[in-house]
Amino acid sequence: EIVLTQSPGTLSLSPGERGTLSCRASQSVNSNSLAWYQQKPGQAPRLLMYGTSRRATGIPDRFSGSGSGTDFTLTISRLEPEDFAVYYCQQFGSSLTFGGGTKVEI
């Protein structure tokens, strides 16, 4: 099973700042097989990115994804108030596993 480790656990930033979230895999992941989700309190997760760098429908372009092999990154170029949430990465190339999440807080 591929284990995904997200860092940092919590990211404290201010609106307008840049956020960089990391997702590291225990084995190499096909870059087509990595997704990111956003979850706000009391809500279900929402798809942000898939195939590492492809934005889901309706996701603003301040969100971008990159990476390959075992290291992947979600970048939020300028944080908006509504971006403060928990973010999860997921790999779907070998079974289906999630990272532990990164909380982006003010």
Give the footprint of another protein on this chain (CB under 8 A). 32-33, 35, 37, 44-47, 50-51, 56, 88, 90, 92-101
Residue 21 C-beta: closest distance to another protein, Å:
14
DSSP class of 32 = G
Please classify residue 57 by burial: count the beta carbons closer than 10 Å to its beta carbon, then call 0-12 exposed, 13-18 middle and 19+ buried.
exposed
Q: Please say which residue, 15 or 96, places its beta carbon nearer to another protein.
A: 96
Q: Please say which residue, 79 or 86, places its beta carbon nearer to another protein.
A: 86
Classify the phi-psi angles of 68: left when phi > 0, otherwise alpha if psi is within -120 to 50, otherwise beta: beta
Residue 78 C-beta: closest distance to another protein, Å:
25
Contact (Cβ atoms closer than 8 angstroms) between residue 11 and residue 104: yes
| 91 sits in which H/E element | strand 86-91
Residue 35 C-beta: closest distance to another protein, Å:
4
Q: Please say which residue, 14 or 95, places its beta carbon nearer to another protein.
A: 95
Residue 50 C-beta: closest distance to another protein, Å:
4
